[in-house]
Amino acid sequence: MNANPYDIKLVAVDMDGTFMRTDYTYDVPRFKAVLARMKAVGCQFVVASGNQYYQLRAQFPGYDHELSFVAENGALVKDKETVLFAADIPRETVLATLDLCKKYPEVKNVMCGLNSAYCERGTVSDAFFELTNKYYHKLQWVDDFAQVEDTILKFAPTVPVEKTAYYSELFQKELAGLLVPTGSGHGSVDLIVPNCHKASGLARLVERWGITPEQCVAFGDGGNDLEMLAYCQRGYAMDNAPENVKAVATAVCPSNDEDGVLVTLEQLFPIV
């Protein structure tokens, strides 16, 4: 029996709502077993998320160096330890974005850099900082966003949940040509450089590894997974995903709380 019957060379997984259960755990021994089978047949595992690289890496302690990462919704791409791409938002765009967000005090902004993410004192609460710290393991307080010296990858404003669509449209209009809003749900909106998303990150890895999208599989559950699910030959939407995500996918797998990614990978990479 073929241990890689579908000739898969890349598997990309979103984290929140996809690979991770709701309690933010996963079956480590079960994953390590299927990862070993994937590696044995030359298939790469890619963590593709809107979250910060340092936070994602921490979910795979002791073996993060075996994996590749498309972090910050494609703004940072790493092949193991090698940085392939880091977005660099121009200074003028950074300042324009900061000015826009200041007009709307209910927008809680996080500025995401290559070295750290940042919250601005006086604009968000300590509780917001602590919550954000769960997703951005490197997070600092600063007095003024505009004074930060770092390569800025993206902005991650949090808006009132019921106004998510309103603010997405506002950002789309006011930052047209500069940054593009992409939603990951629950009032979270990422502002990223145009044509920078999870699929663009995967394309960089595909080119580097000399493979094709037809040899790629992706798993996702949110709006920021749409391009990635469409890019890969096999795009699996989680059972807990909304209908618009399922519509783009080629198949639906069990939910994140049912270990849908691992269930499917065990079918794609059988024990021989």
Point out the residues that are catalytic. Answer: 14
Amino acid symbol at 8: I
Report the length, in residues, of the chain: 272
The residue whose two tokens read 């005090």 is 105
Sign of the four-CA dihedral 28, 199, 245, 111? positive
C-alpha torsion 116→121→123→124, nearest 10: 70
Burial of 149 (0-12, 13-18, 19+ CB in 10 A): exposed
Tokens coding 229: 């699910």
